[in-house]
Structures are given as C-alpha cells and as structure tokens.
Amino acid sequence: MTVRTTAPRATSSAPATTAKAPSANAVAPRAAAASTALTAPPAGLGKGDSGAKVKQLQQGLVKLGYLTQAQMNTGVGSFGPATEAAVKKFQGDHKVPTTGYYGEQTAAALKKALAKATTPPPTQPGKFTKPAVISAPSPNNDSRNGADIDAIVLHHTGSNNGAGDMAWMRNPDSKVSAHYMLDRDGKIYQLVGDSKRAWHAGKSELHGVPTDVNARSIGIEIVNDGSGKTAFTDAQYKALTQLVGYLKQEYKVPANNIVGHKDVAVPKGRKDDPASNFDWARLRKGIGG
C-alpha cells in the first residue's frame, strides 16, 4: 500500500466479506568473519575523492543498505553522485547534517552502525519475543468478525517521511491503516492492535482465492518511497525480522502466507509493494523459513 500520495487515496479500507481460503545458516568460520569485518574509514571524504578509503566507505554503505552492490561496482573507489546520495540518506537517518560530506559526525555514526550490524538477528524459528513497540493508535480499524490470523502482508508507505506516513494512517479521513509501521531508524510503531482488523490490503485474494485479507492478516508498513532505488535500511531489516518472526510464531502463520501487498492485491498489478529492491531472502533466512 502506498500510504500517502499527492492526492489522498483510500483504497484499503472497505470491509470485504468473502469466503476464507485454506492456508496452505550457514555460519561462516570465525576466522573468515574477522578477516572481512567492515569498519568505518577515517573522516574527511567528499565528492571527487577516490582511493581505498572511499572503497571502504562504499562497502560500509552497501552493508547497511544505503548503496547497492551494482552502484558500487560502477564506481568502486570513486566518490561520485551515487556515493554522495547514499551518504546523505545515511546522514538523514542518523540525525547528522545531510551535507553529503563524510565528516567526523558521519564517521562516528557509521562506526556505530557497522558495529551493530555485526550482531545477526535471531535465525531460529520459535525463539522470538515481541520487539519493543511505540503505541500510536489509529481509529481506522474494525472487527475481524472471528477470523483467525494466518497471514502477514508487507507494504512500503510510498514516502521516506515516517512522521507524515503515520499521521496519514491515524487520520480518520484517510480510511487506511496498518497494525505496525517500521520507520527508517528501525523503530516500530503499533497503530492497530493485533486482534483488530486494520485497513491495509483493500480488494484482495490469497494464493488466487478471493478473500478478506484484512480480516485474516497482520499489515506491516515499512517507511520507503517504493522507487526501487531507495534502500531499506539495516535497522529496518533487523526490526522486521524480529517482528515478523514473532508474529509468525505467535499466530502459527505458514511461511507461504508471509507476502507482499502486490501478491494479494486485485487486480494483479494494482500494487507493487514492497518495492523491487526489498530483500525477501534476507527476511526469510532471518525468520527461519
């Protein structure tokens, strides 16, 4: 679901009452891990610079999801427009002035972020606890009418402005909502209680069978503009892994019922979220299937 657009859309609210369809690590050696550990380069890099330190910066940005490997490969060791844009996105997410210059504050933030990234998310199914959430209630919900939760639907919000996206989903006039929203810094906001029916999927089907997906699912919005060029952050992947792992475990959701909005929206092609650069393999590996 695209939460916000230039013209407000309310495509995900109307209750549907159709029949319910049936549900259907390798760990690298420690020595190798230590030898390839990424660290932040010294500060003092900007557009036009080149060399090993720029390559080290690029590798860190790839690791954290701010630069794609393909983007790095086209300009390895060169601080060009793609690297500058990635630095700005990183700075914005870490409350550092978005200058695009890799200075002392940015270097300190990158060092901290890379240190956190070395701690892997839980990978064993059945070992998840509910992550910390921030309560931000939305009035846009109704009853599940007795339906069991057996699906999880992922969305991108359609913007990189978490505060604006959340305000829209809490606005009664929008008639859209989700159970959870993951901001770019990894914070998780709960807008609708799990027991309630959030308005996120609209007209939909599951595995080709028309059904009220809203009534049987948990909806999760990930703050991302959906362009396919803006990376989902490392913090988002970590938080999402913990949240989806917990929900999968808590409600015994089959792995093939963890889907994107584009997989359930009717007609096909009506939605495209989560964006094409969302790493499904990373999520599925993290939750154990």
Give the β-pairing of 209-210 and 134-135: unpaired
Phi, psi of 6 (to 5 degrees): -65, -30
Q: How many CA atoms lie within 13 A of 189 on its CB side?
A: 21
Q: Give CA–CA dist 244/246, Å, rounded.
A: 5
Which helix (H) or strand (E) segment is 48 a member of? none
DSSP readout, 210-269?
Answer: E--HHHHEEEEEE-B--SSSSPPPHHHHHHHHHHHHHHHHHHT--GGGEEEHHHHBSSTT
Q: Give CA–CA dist 254/240, Å, rounded.
A: 17
DSSP code of residue 78:
B
Which residues are designated catalytic?
221
